[in-house]
């Protein structure tokens, strides 16, 4: 009996050993990629700032934190992120309810339009609000009001950028909550407010917390928006890291600020992971298609009208003003000026930045899909070890760690054989792919985990190798998710600015870098060209998003 049992168990043990070995082999490539192109450059710039003659000088941390201007930057970074998060929740939660519970004509198109600002590069967001509230902007022309020298411009731009995060994350879950629970409470005598506060709000709390943490993360590490709208008055950690590295060349201060930001981002991501697990573990959801209905009564129609009005004012108006400013010159003068080489700011005509950006983004997408796809497959099993689960959390770090630090770290670390890449074109796609990989993983992982594991096991029993089982079982099911992941990676790569501004060569600028350079030089023509390039970049991102919206399959998880 024992011999027979051994003969049965031995093949199963061998099969599981092969699966574990295959999983480790899959994750080895993403681990190596992040170690070489993320951990190594960040560690290199931190070490360069905190080591003197090979000796660590940790006392520099206290010295930097003792500077009053640095403490002011830390304070401003934190409170503007908190204020931006609170304002975004206040404005976007009614929109989340409308998209979750109401059914109205044009809802799907409007949903895509609402998401456009999130995939726009932060440089374009800053440029759009500069055209709206800056010198010579719409408010300045109509009422003589300028907000570009106030913190309100930054806060409103952050609401514009993060509105879709709340609508997608909270609204996606809200649409799946069973409305009969709240209706039962009202039948038992509870007021509408009491029923919502006691039934719906506790169920939504994890989603609201997750959305708030993501908004806080994006605003805490804000760079392009603050760089353009804040001017010399306001500076976040990310902007100050850029100033310390590129203008003052004080690597010690930049290294300390990088460590502080890294610690803050790690804490936020840990909280976010906890809220997501809590939401997945405690909710019982229904089909979202049965919860939406047409508005009833004056109050609901007024709410719908108010949300649509806020979308027009906060989301569509800045984009419309951006397009209008790009057309101020007769006969598309600003667009035609993009084809000329002035021999000053650019070594090539600015219009070449369009082709550069598309080529870089395409290469970055291939890298991100390859690395992110391998990581997602390795992370598919829920019984993965601690190392694998820890790597899942680390994959999100590039979204919050200073892109400026990564870009400058590329220049410092990747300058010696066999990794002397400073003169290579691949450096820009590598930096952009770091931002795209988390979107690929987060898009593909839920679909891969939803695949019935018995199909893979049946393929293995029939003799299929792990690679063949994945190709013939998983790939047909995740093909559409893979296309969506590639689209997100392309969009975010197209707009990456923080790292690219350091490593893009003068004769091969990307669109965000070209926009920032044009805005940094005085003159109406330069300003108009910046608006024209921003409009082109906005259109490309919007087209990519509309394609994603058509490919979107199952949005029931509420994940962005």
pLDDT tens profile 456-494: 667 666 666 666 766 776 667 677 777 778 887 888 888
Answer with the residue of higher pLDDT: 306 or 383: 306
Rounded CA-CA distance 494/504 in Å is: 13
Residue 405 confidence (pLDDT) = 81
Mean pLDDT of 406-433: 84
Predicted local distance difference test score (pLDDT) of residue 283: 46
Given a cut of 70, whether residue 5 has pLDDT beyond it is no
Average pLDDT estimate for 21-25? 60
- Is-contact 511 537, C-beta < 8 A? yes
pLDDT surpassing 60 at residue 540? yes
> Given this model, what pLDDT does residue 277 score?
58
Average pLDDT over residues 534-560: 66
98 to 87, 88, 170, 230, 308: CA distances (angstroms): 18, 16, 11, 33, 9
Instruction: Give residue 557's pLDDT.
Output: 42
The answer to whether 116 and 541 are in contact (CB under 8 A) is yes
Highest mean pLDDT among 116-125, 168-177, 483-492, 523-532: 523-532
Selected residue with higher pLDDT from 75 and 64: 75
pLDDT surpasses 80 at 430: yes
Ranges 359-363, 441-445, 473-477, most confident: 359-363
More confident residue, 29 or 422: 29
Q: Where is average pLDDT lowest: 181-195, 336-350, 496-510?
A: 181-195
Using the predicted structure, report yes or no on whether residue 6 has a pLDDT greater than 60. Answer: no
Supply the mean pLDDT for the chain: 78
H/E element, 50: helix 40-50
324: how many CB neighbours lie within 10 A of its CB?
13
The total of other beta-carbon atoms located within 10 Å of residue 383's CB is: 6
pLDDT value, residue 16:
55
- CA angle, 404 then 408 then 409, to 5°: 110
Most confident of 42-46, 98-102, 152-156, 294-298: 152-156
* Mean of pLDDT values over 74-98: 92
How confident is the model at residue 440, as a pLDDT? 85
Q: Which of 65-69, 113-117, 146-150 has the lowest mean pLDDT?
A: 146-150
Q: What is the pLDDT of residue 80?
A: 93
The predicted model gives 9-34 an average pLDDT of 65
Q: What is the pLDDT of residues 228-240, one digit of tens each?
A: 888 778 888 888 8
Least confident of 292-301, 352-361, 459-468: 459-468
SS3 string of 207-228?
Answer: HHHHHHHHHHHHHHCCCHHHHH
Confidence of residue 556 (pLDDT cuts 50, 70, 90): very low
Q: Give alpha helix (H) positions in 416-553.
A: 427-450, 453-461, 466-469, 475-495, 500-503, 511-519, 524-551
Count of C-beta atoms within a 10 Å radius of residue 79? 11
Provide the pLDDT for residue 8: 46
The pLDDT value given to residue 554 = 46
- pLDDT reported for residue 281: 46
Q: Is 521 left (phi over 0), alpha (psi -120 to 50) or beta?
A: beta
- Please tell me the predicted confidence (pLDDT) of residue 279: 52
Highest mean pLDDT of the ranges 201-210, 280-289, 390-399, 499-508 = 499-508
CA distance 358 to 351: 12
CA 23 to chain centre: 27
What was the pLDDT predicted at 534? 86
pTM of the model: 0.78
Q: Answer whether the bond into residue 418 is a cis peptide, omega within 30°.
A: yes
Structure tokens belonging to residue 186: 């009202």
Q: Which two tokens stand for residue 35?
A: 């170690």
* pLDDT band with cut points at 50, 70 and 90 for residue 78: very high
pLDDT-derived band at 75 (thresholds 50, 70, 90) equals very high
Rg (the chain; Cα; Å): 25
Q: How far apart, in whole angstroms, are the C-alpha atoms of residue 210 and residue 207? A: 5
Q: What is the pLDDT of residues 191-232, one digit of tens each?
A: 767 777 777 777 777 778 878 888 898 898 888 888 888 877
What is the DSSP secondary-structure string of 532-546?
Answer: HHHHHHHHHHHHHHH
What's the pLDDT band for 282 if we cut at 50, 70, 90? Answer: very low
| C-alpha dihedral, 152 to 155 to 158 to 162, nearest 10° | -130
Confidence of residue 275 (pLDDT cuts 50, 70, 90): low
Encoding tokens for residue 279?
A: 């939401």
Average pLDDT over residues 355-378: 89
């Amino acid at each position: 009996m024992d011999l027979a049992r051994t003969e049965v168990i031995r093949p199963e043990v061998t099969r599981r050993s092969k699966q574990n070995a295959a999983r480790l082999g899959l994750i080895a490539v993403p681990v190596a990629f992040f170690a070489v192109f993320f951990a190594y450059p960040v560690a290199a710039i931190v070490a360069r700032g905190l080591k003197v003659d090979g000796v660590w000088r940790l006392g520099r941390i206290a010295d930097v934190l003792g500077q009053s201007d640095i403490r002011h930057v830390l304070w401003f970074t934190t409170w503007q992120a908190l204020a931006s998060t609170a304002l975004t929740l206040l404005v976007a939660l009614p929109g989340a309810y409308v998209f979750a519970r109401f059914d109205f004509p044009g809802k799907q198109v409007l949903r895509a339009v609402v998401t456009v600002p999130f995939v726009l590069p932060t440089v374009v967001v800053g440029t759009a609000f500069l055209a709206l509230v800056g010198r010579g902007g719409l408010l300045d022309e109509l009422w003589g009001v300028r907000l570009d020298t106030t913190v309100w411009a930054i806060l409103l731009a952050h609401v514009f950028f993060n509105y879709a995060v709340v609508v997608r994350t909270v609204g996606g879950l809200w649409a799946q909550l069973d409305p009969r629970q709240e209706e039962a409470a009202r039948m038992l005598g509870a007021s509408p407010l009491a029923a919502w506060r006691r039934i719906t709000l506790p169920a939504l709390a994890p989603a609201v917390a997750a959305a708030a943490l993501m908004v806080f993360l994006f605003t805490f590490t804000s760079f392009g928006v603050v760089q353009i709208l804040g001017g010399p008055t306001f500076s976040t950690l990310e902007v100050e890291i850029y100033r310390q590295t590129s203008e003052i060349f004080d690597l010690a201060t930049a290294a300390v600020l990088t460590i502080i930001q890294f610690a803050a981002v790690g804490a936020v991501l840990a909280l976010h992971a906890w809220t997501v697990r809590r939401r997945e573990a405690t909710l019982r959801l229904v089909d979202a298609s049965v919860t939406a209905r047409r508005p009833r009564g004056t109050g609901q129609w007024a709410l719908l009208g108010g949300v649509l009005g806020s979308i027009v004012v906060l989301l569509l108006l800045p984009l419309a003003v951006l397009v209008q400013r790009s057309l101020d010159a007769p006969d598309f003068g600003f667009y035609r000026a993009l084809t000329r080489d002035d021999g000053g700011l650019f070594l090539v005509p600015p219009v070449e930045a369009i082709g550069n950006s598309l080529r870089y983004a395409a290469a970055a997408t291939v890298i991100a899909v390859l690395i992110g796809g391998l990581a997602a497959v390795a992370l598919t099993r829920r019984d993965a070890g601690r190392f694998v689960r820890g790597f899942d959390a680390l994959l999100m770090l590039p979204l919050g760690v200073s892109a400026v630090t990564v870009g400058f770290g590329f220049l410092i670390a990747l300058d010696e054989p066999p990794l002397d890449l400073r003169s290579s074109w691949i450096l820009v796609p590598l930096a952009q792919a770091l931002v795209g990989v988390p979107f690929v993983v987060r898009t593909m992982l839920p679909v891969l985990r939803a695949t019935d594991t018995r199909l893979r096991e049946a393929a293995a029993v029939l003799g299929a190798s792990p690679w063949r089982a994945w190709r013939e079982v998983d790939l047909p099911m995740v093909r559409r998710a893979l296309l969506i992941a590639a689209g997100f990676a392309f969009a975010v790569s197209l707009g990456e600015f923080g790292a690219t501004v350091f490593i893009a060569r003068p004769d091969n600028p990307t669109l965000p870098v070209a926009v920032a350079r044009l805005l940094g030089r005085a003159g109406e023509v330069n300003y108009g060209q910046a608006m024209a390039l921003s409009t082109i970049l906005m259109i490309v991102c919007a087209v990519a998003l509309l394609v994603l919206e058509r490919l979107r399959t199952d949005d029931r998880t509420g994940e962005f």
